[in-house]
Amino acid sequence: MSLISQPEVTETAAVKTPRNLFDRYEWAGAFGDLGTLIPFAMGYIVIMKIDPLGLLVAFGILFICSGLYYRTPVPIQPMKAIGSAAITQAAVITPGMVWGAGIFTGIFWLVMGLTGTLEIISRIVTKPVVRGIVLGLGLSFIMEGIKMMRSDFIAAVIALVITFMLLAGRRIPAMFVLLIIGLITTLVRSPELFKELSGIHFDFQLPRFVLGQITWSDFVKGTLILGIPQVPLTLGNAVIAITAENNRLFPERPVTEKKIAVSQGILNLFSTLLGGIPICHGAGGMAGHVRFGARTGGALIILGVVLLATGLCFSSSILLIFKIFPLSILGVILFFAGLELAAFARDAGSEKSDYYTLLITAGFATWNMGAGFIAGIIIQELFKRKVFKV
């Protein structure tokens, strides 16, 4: 049985609908990646003091462009290694260094894609390694989701049960109910939010270019401290895994590692120009969108318009708006995205060595995606050369 949440649309049926759709399932799937987007965005805005205007406008435009170009839910996500390091080390990392890392990331993936280097890498990566990366990412999402759910475990359990029941249904997309549960939970736990939400006000602004604010020192430090450590994670998750997931789910709209790499290069240079953050096409984001109903790029366009309008008109009130989404419900969303990823790692191969490669890759990937990728390649070659036997 497929774990995809819109039962009447299967992977086979997806071939019949290559155009973008904007039905209720696309609307529900549009919000399937909030579990990663909102926490990282809040961290950048609150701790790093990144201007929400540029961050939201960049995300909005790039979501729209991704939906229009790919016509599948190829997501736009914060880069997790860069984001985690920047937020947890905010005392020594500046916004300029974050933007410097974005410039390095953009240039790096453009070069990797345009020179054909990724084609060489992709040829040596077997299915067990790819599935191991996907499984490791899925397990990481599940564990992180459970951690977030602990902030209000009762509400999270109720949301989990209702979501499982609705995912098999035809009429009501689970995401809509999750968002309602989240709003009710927030207002019950924090009734003073009623009054705070009245502070949301229209404040139209246009983003400013930040290129002139980035110094050579920002670029060098951002590259060494933030950009380079992100590369293995992006390679495993946002190049190899997303390509495999897209082509498995949407064979009528295939992508290549080269296309994804070049795309990430362009979107990072554009995001940095507007004062946004380093971003990627993470496989977990696609899992989240698909899990809650998305089948086309329409979901991305919907979310992009919402983020663009919010950034242009309500960026000064964004932290109040984010309060509507409780951490426990975001954890539920992330949990189901993890399940969607992990469940599809089952076709790694029929040999025992395939499963060993899968599990070793996944095990290391739950710690570090780059380490998982390297460990998987090593064990794959050792089995191939019969150095190890199982």
Label residue 196 by pLDDT band (50, 70, 90): confident
Using 50, 70 and 90 to split pLDDT, how confident is the model at 27? very high
* Each residue's pLDDT tens digit, 260-282: 999 999 999 999 999 999 999 98
Looking at 50-59, 304-313, 368-377, which range is the least confident one? 368-377
pLDDT of residue 10: 40
Highest mean pLDDT (candidates 4-8, 15-19, 304-308, 369-373): 304-308
Mean pLDDT computed over 148-173: 86
- Between 171 and 287, residue with greater pLDDT: 287
Q: What are phi and psi of 17, to 5 degrees?
A: -130, 65
pLDDT for residue 309 is more than 80: yes
Looking at the chain, which runs of residues are DSSP E strands?
77-78, 279-280
- Mean pLDDT taken over the chain: 87
SS3 category, 261: helix
pLDDT of residue 21: 93
State the alpha helices, DSSP H only, in 89-152: 95-114, 117-124, 127-149
* Residue 348 clears pLDDT 80, i.e. is over it: no
For residue 1, name the pLDDT band (cuts at 50, 70, 90): very low
Q: Which of 371, 384, 378 is nearest to 137 (CA)?
A: 371
| Dist. CA 78–CA 70, nearest whole Å | 19
Report whether pLDDT(368) > 80.
Answer: no
Give CA–CA dist 314/275, Å, rounded: 17
Q: Are strands 77-78 and 279-280 parallel, antiparallel or unpaired?
A: antiparallel
**Domain range annotation of the chain:** 13-343
At which residue do the structure tokens 């969607």 appear? 340
How far are the Cα atoms of 29, 82, 172, 178 from residue 165, in angstroms, in the given order? Answer: 17, 36, 10, 12
User: For 181-193, how does the pLDDT look when each residue is reduced to its tens digit (9 = 90+)?
Assistant: 988 888 888 888 7
Q: How far apart are CA 41 and CA 44, in angstroms?
A: 5
- Please indicate whether residue 198 or residue 218 has the higher confidence score (pLDDT): 218
Q: In terms of residues, how long is the chain?
A: 390
Predicted confidence (pLDDT) per residue in 95-147, tens digit: 999 999 999 999 999 999 999 888 787 777 777 888 888 888 889 889 989 99
